Amino acid sequence: NRRIVLARRPQGAPVSGDFRLETTPVPEPLDGQVLLRTEYLSLDPYMRGRMSDAPSYADPVEVDGVMVGGTVCRVESSRHPDYKADQWVLGYSGWQDYALSDGADLMPLGYNPKNPSHALGILGMPGFTAYMGLLDIGQPKPGETLVVAAATGPVGATVGQIGKLKGCHVIGVAGGPEKCKYAKEILGFDECLDHRAVDFHRQLKNVCTKGIDIYFESVGGKVFDAVLPRLNTKARIPVCGLISQYNATQLPNGPDRLSRLMGTILVKRLTVQGFIIFDDYGHRYDEFAKDMSQWVAKGEIKYREHLVDDLENAPEAFIGMLKGDNFGKLVIRVNDR
């Protein structure tokens, strides 16, 4: 049983030495337990938060503890009445080959699911995040302008496509020309701008001819700075993530801009609402599952995965994701094949 543990808490951007690969015996299930074999491991930005012991909405991973994460597993053996060998399940067994579960954290996926890994992305946590954040907090209306950052990741790509279904003018923000091309040509966004461009502020101004009604915030930093002056009165900002800040060890240099931010919130009467998907919306999962499975089945929402083979490559892939190296939902195919 290979497993990847947190070797030490990162200082700034994580490095490979913050993780450690260990080998342990495969555990034996007791009465009421299932033994899971991980097929797919989801790598998500929130894991950077779990590596830190700063106060947050969830407990950190302990040093020497197995890194947490959503997984799609096969039941290897079962002493639980509801689970049988070879069944597929969605679980939360972390960065390891095998894990035990009492069943409480599992969602059955059947014996022969079509795209089992989609339960970690479009049909799972990131898709749900996009759906609730945009529809409940963003309140999109036809003709409004929606700006979405990290536009080709599983959350952003889904936000923008739902925005199009709701009749919005959708402007993505992504890193590099290839991602921007994909957002326009495949995802159907009206525009997509490269946040690395030196004239990004000016480009955003040029394409937001009617201002911005919804900014789906996943990034923070420079992208937010460019968005703020373009917001319309009564604009909504679902604050989903701030990935450009996750590796920061101190506040940025420069003048304190808090009073300008608060002044804009007041004068423009902005709604700025943070959310943590399962804590705030867990009770509405069924609404999402019904709508999204239909949209995906009809081809109205497209989905791209970035698959990396082998559990041992998870640290490197995770470190890369925080810099934008992934193109689509980052998933580890745990067994090299």
Kindly state whether residue 154 participates in binding ligand NDP, applying the rule CB under 6 A. yes
Q: How many CB atoms lie within 10 A of CB 241?
A: 24
User: From the list 155, 168, 228, 334, which residue makes contact with ligand NDP (rule: CB under 6 A)?
Assistant: 155
What's the CA gap between 14 and 22, in Å, rounded? Answer: 19
Our CB check for ligand NDP shows the closer of 82 and 105 to be: 105
Kindly state whether residue 200 participates in binding ligand NDP, applying the rule CB under 6 A. no
CB 327 within 8 A of CB 178: yes
Kindly state whether residue 117 participates in binding ligand NDP, applying the rule CB under 6 A. no
CB of 221 to ligand NDP, least distance (A): 6
What's the CA gap between 15 and 84, in Å, rounded? Answer: 39
Kindly state whether residue 305 participates in binding ligand NDP, applying the rule CB under 6 A. no
CB of 263 to ligand NDP, least distance (A): 25
What Å distances lie between residue 213 and 9, 177, 210, 237, 259, CA to CA?
39, 25, 9, 9, 22
Kindly state whether residue 159 participates in binding ligand NDP, applying the rule CB under 6 A. no
Kindly state whether residue 138 participates in binding ligand NDP, applying the rule CB under 6 A. no
Kindly state whether residue 195 participates in binding ligand NDP, applying the rule CB under 6 A. yes
Spell out a b/e string for 191-230, using b for 16 or more CB atoms within 10 Å of the CB, else e.
bbbbbeeeebbebbeeebeeebbbbbbbbbeebbebbbeb
Per-residue x/- track, 174-193, ligand NDP (CB under 6 A)? xx---x--------------
CB of 201 to ligand NDP, least distance (A): 14
Q: Could you write out the DSSP letters of every residue in 86-116?
A: T-EEEE---SBSEEEE-STT-EEEESS-SSG
Number of residues in contact with ligand NDP, rule: CB under 6 A? 30
Segment near ligand NDP (CB under 6 A); pick from 62-70, 75-83, 108-116, 171-179: 171-179
DSSP letter at 311? G
Closest CA to 129 of 148, 146, 116: 148
Our CB check for ligand NDP shows the closer of 80 and 179 to be: 179
User: From the list 116, 126, 138, 163, which residue makes contact with ligand NDP (rule: CB under 6 A)?
Assistant: 126
CB of 203 to ligand NDP, least distance (A): 15
Segment near ligand NDP (CB under 6 A); pick from 10-18, 40-48, 112-120, 251-259: 40-48
Our CB check for ligand NDP shows the closer of 34 and 159 to be: 159
User: From the list 165, 197, 276, 289, which residue makes contact with ligand NDP (rule: CB under 6 A)?
Assistant: 276
User: From the list 70, 153, 160, 315, which residue makes contact with ligand NDP (rule: CB under 6 A)?
Assistant: 153
Our CB check for ligand NDP shows the closer of 155 and 308 to be: 155
- Residue 269 neighbours by CB under 8 Å, 6+ apart: 233, 234
User: Which residues in 229-258 contact ligand NDP (CB under 6 A)?
Assistant: 240-241, 243-244
What's the CA gap between 160 and 157, in Å, rounded? Answer: 5
Kindly state whether residue 14 participates in binding ligand NDP, applying the rule CB under 6 A. no
DSSP letter at 133? I
SS (H, E, C) 318-331: HHHHCCCCCCCEEE
The token pair at 29 is: 């299930």
DSSP letter at 273? E
Place of tokens 């934008």: 324
What does the binding site for ligand NDP look like in residue numbers (CB under 6 A)? 44-46, 126, 129, 150, 152-156, 174-175, 179, 195, 218-219, 221, 223, 240-241, 243-244, 275-277, 321-322, 324, 326
